[in-house]
Structure 1
Amino acid sequence: MADELQLLREILPTLRQRPDVVVPPGDDCAAIDSGGTELLLAAVDQLIGDVHYYRQRTEPERIGAKLLKRNLSDIAAMGGRPAWALLTLALGGVSDDWLKRFYAGLEACARRYNVAICGGDLAALPPGIEGEVGTLTILGQVERTKLCRRTAARDGELLLVTGELGNSLASEHHLDFQPRLAEGAFLAGDFTRCMMDISDGLLLDAQRLAEQSKTGIVLDTEALPLRSGADTGMALGDGEDYELLFTLPPEQLETLQNRWPFATRLSVIGRIAGQRPGTVVDRFGNHLSNKGNSGYVHFQ
Structure 2
Amino acid sequence: MATLGSQEKGVLGPGSVSAAFQSLVNRSIAALETINFVGQQDDYSTYLEMNRLRLRGLDSIETVLKNRSHWFFQLRSSFLDQDQLFKFDLSRLDRYILLPIDYGWVNNRDCYFISHYWRSASHPDPDGTDLRMFQQDLVSDTLWSYVWVDWTCAPQVDGDGRRTPLEQHYFEKMLQCMQMLVRDCAFEWRFPAWEPRAWILYEVAENALSHYSCTVTEDNRLFLCHVKEMVRFGVHSVLNKYKYRCTNASDMDLVTGKLEMLVILAKIFPKDFALRRTLLDYLNKPGSTVSGDWVGG
Tell me the TM-score range normalised by the shorter chain.
under 0.3
Instruction: Normalising by structure 2, report the TM-score.
Output: 0.26
Instruction: Normalising by structure 1, report the TM-score.
Output: 0.26
Please identify which structure carries the higher helix content.
Answer: 2
Please identify which structure carries the higher strand content.
Answer: 1
